[in-house]
Amino acid sequence: MSENIGPVDASLVPRYAGIATFARLPRIEEVDHADIAVVGVPFDSGVSYRPGARFGPAHVRESSRLLRPYNPAQDVSPFATQQVADAGDIAANPFDIDDAVRAIEEAATALRAGGTRLVTIGGDHTIALPLLRSVAKEHGPVAVLHFDAHLDTWDTYFGAPVTHGTPFRRASEEGLIDRTASMHVGTRGPLYGEADLADDERLGFAVVTTDHIEEDGVERAVERIRARIGDAPLYVSVDIDVLDPAHAPGTGTPEAGGLTSRELLRMLRALSGTHIVGADVVEVAPAYDHAQITAVAAAHVTYELVSAMAPAGA
């Protein structure tokens, strides 16, 4: 087996030079096989408020230049123990959501051929639906661990069934998720009515709100997450608006009272050793960002997910 190709050496090439792949990793064309492919989906035609997440993948890549090859928090070198590569972007029709969803599913399935797992940078949360469709083809219904300020299990917006507020309702209805092992974390803020919570429970989700985390602490939240997901195949979906706007101003639907970036990273690190089959990090909107605050957080979220996906004992 050939040695894994890692990031560009920052002692030889300055971090601000060269092509902005994620964490300055090799492009997928430069490796024989990728255990994990980081891929962008620059699509935001499903948003209900602020647009701009189509520019998220490029912004996160630029903000990932300072990531380093050893993760002391997880005691793993995620790029040495598995081949990680940047697969570029999936092109999706910005004028036709149905066509875009079809193209994302097809491209994701092609990338996943041969056992490659995807960590996808959005783009808005609409993209979670085609990604789950792709993953479920191989694994069947998967546990979904969804970090978000919002439930994203609403029915329609303006009569449209596929938007960034509906992916997990559609996924549950299509049998893509394990209704006994799925959970939202970090939800908060106003809803349209009590029925939102009843619908969400019926669709198969347990909930850990930010109030729960404030009252019981991060470690209790981690216990609840691990107990819920068990050893099921796991898909992790992170909407960056799970963070408080102080930690992630550059997003489309900000809500006060969110997690700190430190709290989110601690919970993601606790996923090490679980059976993660795919992940996404979505809703980074650069036009509302300041000093790359949001994109730096998203880059570290992506890094912790890749680290948590490293082989056990690595």
Q: What is the pLDDT of residues 26-64, one digit of tens each?
A: 999 999 999 999 999 999 999 999 999 999 999 999 999
For residue 314, the model assigns a pLDDT of 57
| Strand partners of residue 284 | 251
The domains of the chain are located at 22-308
CB atoms within 10 A of CB 231: 11
Mean pLDDT score, 229-240: 97
Does 118 or 1 have the greater pLDDT score? 118
- Write down the pLDDT at residue 232: 97
pLDDT at 250 exceeding the cut of 70: yes
For residue 188, pLDDT beyond 70: yes
Residue 2 in this model has a pLDDT that exceeds 90: no
Q: Which two tokens stand for residue 172?
A: 């549950």
> For 138-160, what is the mean pLDDT?
97
Q: Average pLDDT, stretch 268-285?
A: 98
Residue 57 has a pLDDT of 98
Burial class of residue 185 (count of CB atoms within 10 Å of its CB; 0-12, 13-18, 19+):
buried
Percent of the chain beyond pLDDT 70? 99
pLDDT at 312: 76
pLDDT, tens digit, 9 for 90 and up, residues 65-99: 999 999 999 999 999 999 999 999 999 999 999 99
Whether the pLDDT of residue 166 is over 60: the answer is: yes
What pLDDT, in 10s, does the model give residues 3-17?
899 999 998 899 999
Q: Could you tell me which residues come within 8 angstroms of residue 124 by beta carbon, excluding any fewer than 6 positions away?
A: 43, 44, 45, 46, 47, 53, 164, 252, 282, 283
Phi-psi region of 141 (alpha: psi -120 to 50; beta: other; left: phi over 0): beta
The per-residue pLDDT for 197 is: 97
Q: Look-up: residue for tokens 């000093």? A: 291
CA-closest candidate to residue 82, choices 146, 34, 27: 34
User: What's the CATH code, domain 22-308?
Assistant: 3.40.800.10
Q: 167 and 126 in contact (C-beta within 8 Å)?
A: yes
Query: Cβ of 266: how many Cβ atoms within 10 Å?
Result: 17
Give pLDDT, residue 3. 83
Any idea what DSSP says for residue 234? E
> pLDDT confidence of 238, banded at 50, 70, 90?
very high
Rounded to whole angstroms, the Cα distance separating 182 from 122 reads 21
pLDDT at 212: 97
Q: What's the mean pLDDT when you consider all of the chain?
A: 97
What are the distances in angstroms from CA 271 to CA 103, 223, 266, 274?
Answer: 30, 11, 9, 6
